[in-house]
Structure 1
Amino acid sequence: MTTENRTDRELWDDARGGDGGAFGLLFDRHGRAVYNHCFRLVGSWAAAEDLTQAVFLLAWRKRARVRMTNDSAMPWLLSVATNVVRSHHRSMTRWLRNARRLPSQDVPDHADDVAGRIDDERRMVELLAAVRRLPRNQQEALALCVWSGVPYAEAAAVLGIAEVSVRARVSKARARLRDQFTPPVVTLTTTEEVPR
């Protein structure tokens, strides 16, 4: 059987035995999806790269203790990614809290003068701000199903809930985001006649 025809479970079993090549094939198959999932949760290309590395490093370290029950490693990897991002958010919150305690410096920050931010990243930050206003359960369902393209059934397995609950969360999240990004209709009324 060629490596392309092997299931993730077969590759994972080999990786559990220490086969780095099999683990590398899993990375080749799912690295981009994990990276995109991380980016959609943090809104930064650089942070997404670091988080993707952390996900696969953690997966490698845990390989001996994790048994693959599906033929696809994707749900488990996205679950690990979600947890790594949560940990990242907690760390950043602590770091920001501690940084605010430091006295401010009068030295101008050259980063403030950097022009030409990547437009995709700016738009993603705006969207993430809106997404972060959603309840966490809707955020996670949206990130898995809409952004990462995970089928509802697999997302349900990742989140540990029923498929119908995943569908409801995605639907509610879409409706709330639609309300936030759809410009309001303004009706102007006047008592004066419009000149012709």
Structure 2
Amino acid sequence: MMRARIRAGDPAAFRELFGEHAQAIYRHAVRATGDWSAAEDVVSLTFLEAWRLRGRLDPEGDGLAPWLFGIATNVLRNTSRAARRHRAALSRLPAGAEVPDFADEIAGRADDAARIGAAHAALARLGDTDREIIMLCVWAGLDYASTAEALGIPVGTVRSRLSRARTRLRELSATLQEESR
């Protein structure tokens, strides 16, 4: 009766099957792999395959444990084969090829993002012309003459406004840092 229900795709029957046999399959997988996490994967794959192959289940027979253990054995073979292939692929990599640690780079990017955010906040408090001069001279790296040409103002004006804007920016940055604490 249970076999017929499983073959028919009855979810309640499959839940019952899982409840009765999952622990036994798990213990078998732990013994075979020596790894609890891998054993959990084997159990999941075993019952997934059992669901997929339910139509092939012989309607006659006693108990379902042999059928499940057969599926589990095949899953263990496949996972073992995949692990061997993975190790073989890794062994073909050039010697000394190390994966760099990106933690410092990511932390640096986060710091950069915070600094850029603080700079934008301080720049937002400057006047339009001062902000444009800072962005062109400091961020874009234009010289005084190029900045003057870009903004259509005299070079002397660029110099004086840049000096004033830098002073104001330092004051704003200090104020913003104090506010953020």
Report the TM-score when normalising by structure 2.
0.52
In structure 2, stretches of 5+ residues that fail to align are: 102-181
Q: Which has the larger radius of gyration?
A: 2
Using the alignment, how far apart are the partners of 1:74 and 1:51 within structure 2?
A: 15
For the pair 1:66 / 2:48, whether they are aligned, the reply is no
Cα distance, 1:68 vs structure 2: 4.4
- In structure 2, relative to structure 1, the CA distance for the partners of 1:106 and 1:86 (3 Å cut) is closer
Q: 1:39: which partner in 2?
A: 30
Q: Aligned runs of 1:3-22 on 2, under 5 Å?
A: 10-22=1-13
Q: 2:17: which partner in 1?
A: 26
The list of structure 1 runs, each at least 4 consecutive aligned residues, that deviate by more than 6 angstroms after superposition, is none
Q: 1:116: which partner in 2?
A: none
**Does the CA contact (< 8 Å) of 1:39 and 1:45 recur in 2?**
yes
* Alignment deviations for residues 19-75 of structure 1 (CA, whole Å, 9 cap, x no partner): 111011000000000111111111100000001110110010010111143321111
Using the alignment, how far apart are the partners of 2:88 and 2:14 within structure 1?
A: 38
Q: Aligned runs of 1:83-162 on 2, under 5 Å?
A: 83-103=74-94, 104-105=97-98, 107=100
**Higher RCO, 1 or 2 (CA under 8 Å, sep at least 6)?**
1
For the pair 1:51 / 2:11, whether they are aligned, the reply is no
Q: CA RMSD in A?
A: 2.0
Using the alignment, how far apart are the partners of 2:59 and 2:19 within structure 1?
A: 18
Secondary structure of the corresponding residue to residue 64 of structure 1: helix
**AA partner of residue 92 (structure 1):** A
Higher helix share: 2
Size of the alignment, in residue pairs? 101
**Does the CA contact (< 8 Å) of 1:14 and 1:22 recur in 2?**
yes
**Does the CA contact (< 8 Å) of 1:31 and 1:52 recur in 2?**
yes
**Does the CA contact (< 8 Å) of 1:38 and 1:85 recur in 2?**
yes
Using the alignment, how far apart are the partners of 1:55 and 1:41 within structure 2?
A: 14
**Does the CA contact (< 8 Å) of 1:11 and 1:23 recur in 2?**
no
- In structure 2, relative to structure 1, the CA distance for the partners of 1:98 and 1:81 (3 Å cut) is same
**Does the CA contact (< 8 Å) of 2:3 and 2:57 recur in 1?**
no
Report the TM-score when normalising by structure 1.
0.48
Using the alignment, how far apart are the partners of 2:9 and 2:80 within structure 1?
A: 31
